[in-house]
Amino acid sequence: MHCSFCGRDETEVQLLMPGMEGCICNECAERADEVAKEYLRNISKATVEDIDMATLPKPNEIKEFLDQYVIGQDTAKRYLAVAVYNHYKRLAQHSQDDGVDIEKSNIIIVGPTGTGKTLLAKTIAKMLKVPFAIVDATVLTEAGYVGEDIESLLTRLLAACDYNVEEAQRGIVFIDEIDKIARKGDNPSITRDVSGEGVQQGLLKLLEGSVVNVPPQGGRKHPEQKMIAVDTKNILFICGGAFEGIERKIAQRLNTHVVGYGAGNHISRLDREKLLHFVAPQDLRSYGLIPEIIGRLPILTNLEPLDREALRRILTEPKNAIVKQYHKLLEMDGVELVIDDDVLDFVVDKSIEFKLGARGLRSIFETIMIDVMYSVPASGDKQFRLTRDYAEQQLGKSNFDMLARAQ
């Protein structure tokens, strides 16, 4: 037996794979794989600029898609839908030369933890026709210090499009936890703020648009590799952060009291819940973002804290709702899950009590269901009914009950 491509027999190669009318050795198979990948990559490069405006999802269609997975937050959804649609139009403009350049409008989203910032980003990535990457700002440091370089943000985007530079240069990057790189303080310090203001300074060139040399596999681990030049002029950046405590900055600017006494106490607390509606660029600056980076994030929107009704809907309505997931998990074991309505109300009340947001719903529900998921699949039962008494009993044995007593 010999290879039909190179002619070597089975004693000269490591592996010879037989086919219908011939054989191929492992080395020829590897070369064929490389040639095929390069060919497909060249095809995608040739069609990377072809964007058909007629088939693109309109802003209202993008919002309707987000509504299937994310409850509420209509204002933020509108901002995201318009930004993504305008990003498509900016890319389609490359085929026209009328002298009018459409500038990109980067977005920053402010909202408490558990309100859906990262979920919005992950959901919108499902329907996009451009590369999308979600990166975390908490690991970033200035060049030369332990941590990730700023340029590593674009490594995820390159990986999302199989290192096709032309395709990556029209992608969208969601930078999560942007508030974690806020300036640590206004007072001068003898040490460098390498994970705060230093990172913000490094992000300036990425946000505005410039040619950046990106290490494809991480610069410090592979210093000998060849850098990839990426132009960020047409990359849309969406930033999100909780900005814990920014309500105090907003209250100071509005000259209101976050906490009041007597007759004004209730009014002050209601105002505090609505303070994020009035967030402005100067509040971000007083929180610790430098003016240069705020200027490169011209669109500022906020996510509203989730009320009881929204949390209740999150349990059951989205396509990937927690209740639907457990129904499917037990259904795969042949067990029907029946949940009483007052159980859902109980879970929502506990999540509000501990101020955990939507993430708290999952942690509480998993605490309640852990014994069920352990014993029911092997029990042979065809149905399990989840009652409020059982839910309270399960939480009573967990750390949640200890937290409640500690408050």
Least confident among 176-185, 218-227, 265-274: 265-274
Residue 148, SS3? strand
Query: How far is Cα 173 from Cα 297, in angstroms, rounded to an integer?
Result: 13
| Band of residue 293 on the pLDDT scale cut at 50, 70, 90 | very high
3-state secondary structure of 115: coil
Lowest mean per-residue pLDDT among 192-206, 215-229, 355-369, 370-384: 215-229
The ranges assigned to domains in the chain are 1-46, 59-302, 308-406
Q: Are 137 and 198 in contact (CB under 8 A)?
A: no
Residue type, 285: R
Give ∠ CA 63-134-49 in degrees, rounded to 5.
Answer: 70
* Predicted confidence (pLDDT) at residue 257 exceeds the cutoff of 80: no
Quick one: CA torsion of 136, 139, 142, 144, rounded to 10 degrees?
Answer: -130
> Tens digits of per-residue pLDDT, 159-190?
888 888 888 888 889 999 999 888 866 655 55
| Burial group, residue 46, by CB count within 10 angstroms (0-12, 13-18, 19+) | exposed
Does the pLDDT at position 127 exceed 70? yes
CB 121 within 8 A of CB 240: yes
**Contact call for residues 352 and 407 (beta carbons, < 8 A):** no
DSSP labels, 105-160: --EEEE--TTSSHHHHHHHHHTS-SS-EEEEEGGGB--TTSSSB-GGGHHHHHHHH
- Six token digits for residue 4: 């039909």
Domain 308-406 has CATH 1.10.8.60: yes
More confident residue, 394 or 220: 394
The backbone torsions φ and ψ at residue 10, rounded to the nearest 5 degrees and listed phi first, read -70, -15
Strand segments (E) across 107-253: 107-110, 132-136, 172-176, 211-214, 228-231, 236-241
What are the DSSP calls for 21-43, one per residue? S-EEEHHHHHHHHHHHHHHHHHH
Low-confidence winner among 250-264, 353-367, 370-384 (lowest mean pLDDT)? 250-264
pLDDT of residue 191: 64
347 by DSSP, 3-state: which? helix
- The DSSP call for residue 263 is G
Residues 120 and 79: their CA atoms lie apart, in Å, by 11
- Give the CA dihedral 75, 76, 79, 81, nearest 10 degrees: -110
pLDDT above 80 for 398: no
Separation between Cα atoms, residue 165 and residue 170, nearest integer Å: 9
CATH, domain 59-302, list 3.40.1160.10, 3.40.50.300, 3.40.50.720, 3.40.50.10440? 3.40.50.300
Parallel, antiparallel, or unpaired for β 336-339 and 132-136? Answer: unpaired
- pLDDT band at 199, cuts 50/70/90? confident
Confidence of residue 275 (pLDDT cuts 50, 70, 90): confident
Q: Is 109 helix (H, G, I), strand (E, B) or coil?
A: strand
Is pLDDT at 261 greater than 60 in this prediction? no
User: Rg of the Cα trace of the chain?
Assistant: 27
Residues 6+ away with beta carbon under 8 Å from 331 = 337
Instruction: Single out the residue of 101, 121, 103, 126 nearest to residue 111, CA to CA.
Output: 121
Rounded-to-integer distance, Cα 170 and Cα 231, Å: 9
- The per-residue pLDDT for range 51-99, each reduced to its tens digit, is 667 778 899 999 999 999 888 889 999 999 998 898 888 877 765 666 7
Burial of 248 (0-12, 13-18, 19+ CB in 10 A): middle
Counting DSSP H helices and E strands in the chain, the numbers are 17, 11
> If you ran DSSP here, which 8-state letter would residue 276 be given?
G
Do residues 155 and 214 make contact, with C-beta atoms less than 8 angstroms apart?
yes
Using pLDDT thresholds of 50, 70 and 90, give the confidence band for residue 156. confident
Is the pTM of the predicted complex or chain greater than 0.85? no
